Amino acid sequence: MQWNLKGDRPIYQQLVELITMQIVSGMLQAGDKMMPVRELANEAGVNPNTMQRALAELERQGLLYSSRTTGRYVTEDAALIMRVRESLAEEQITDFLARMEQLGYDKEKTIFMIERVSREGN
């Protein structure tokens, strides 16, 4: 796993986003057992406290839950994962449309370009 962490934003925040991506993209499946905090922290090259903070935030969002004795798991609420996935997608789309509009492309031109680019990209 590549944990490409930049120094321009809080680390824990980047960890939240990366783990969220792992969950919504299916890399981590609903119900999967997470690795121990210390191991995750070690793999990511961050302080265990920082990783702990990220996991706590994800628990607050409901994407993870922990049972004190057996460890920490990805939520089994597939609908929640789906909602988060859609929410992230909408965010991507909103940002994207804004950037394209700044370049002078309205929705129709943008969709036309997408068709063209993805045709070429084959």
Closest CA to 97 of 85, 110, 115, 86: 110
107 binds DNA (CB under 7 A): no
Pick between residue 30 and residue 100 the one whose CB is nearest to DNA.
30
**Whether the Cβ atoms of residue 50 and residue 18 lie closer than 8 Å to each other:** no
Residue closer to a second copy by CB (options 70, 108) is 108
Contacting residue, 20, 72, 81, 84, with DNA by CB under 7 A: 72
Structure tokens at 109: 């031109």
- Alpha-carbon Rg of the chain, whole angstroms? 18
Query: In the complex, what is the shortest distance from the CB of residue 94 to a second copy, in angstroms, rounded to a whole number?
Result: 6
- List binders of a second copy among 43-72 (CB under 8 A): none
